[in-house]
Amino acid sequence: GELLGKIEAPPGVEGPWWTVQFPQELLTSGHAPALTEPQQQQLLLLAGKYLLPNEEPRYSVLIERLVAHAAENAAALKPLLASRQPSQLFQAAAEGIIVGVLVWIAWTYSKIAGVAGAVFLMSYGVLRIATEFSRLPDAQFVNGRPMGLSRGQWLSVVMILAGIGVLAYVLKAKPTPPSVRGQNAGGAESAEG
């Protein structure tokens, strides 16, 4: 699943206004951060609303039902959830909007084929490294951040190096005349332009 943002405030503590909460965190085994005993009792009482008549109470099933109805229980769930950094929003802004603008600028103003691709690789890599610091590390690794970087950040280092390599290659290669937008290879104006 998607990695959640770093915790800014544990359950029961009001987080900063800009944080987000995810009811799905209740579905994870070994819920972290752990709820206190009173919080656990409050969660069980809240989930108990979803016990069907003549049904054997099973904790995981009740929690799944509670999470499925999280919108109608938002106020009651709020003190039972951690407040987290909105890492998905950070990533959408950085890896979508900012990278898109940088690539558009490179494509618009560069006369050399390949520069926009190199800018994409380098800017995406740099911004991915930056936004990964707002996320929890990969849980499947014993050391979630070898040498201080997550798996996504290490892959981004490779992207940056590839972007540098592409940029060096296209700047060093014998330049070919760029095609003029709106004209085909023969120089005549296309029907589209």
Rounded Cα distance between 46 and 78, Å, is: 12
Q: Write the pLDDT tens digit of every residue in 6-22.
A: 899 999 999 999 999 99
Domain ranges of the chain: 7-84, 87-172
- Among 85, 86, 76, residue whose Cα is nearest residue 12: 76
Rounded Cα distance between 55 and 49, Å, is: 12
What is residue 46's three-state secondary structure? helix
Q: Write the pLDDT tens digit of every residue in 134-179.
A: 887 766 666 667 777 888 888 999 999 999 999 999 999 866 555 6
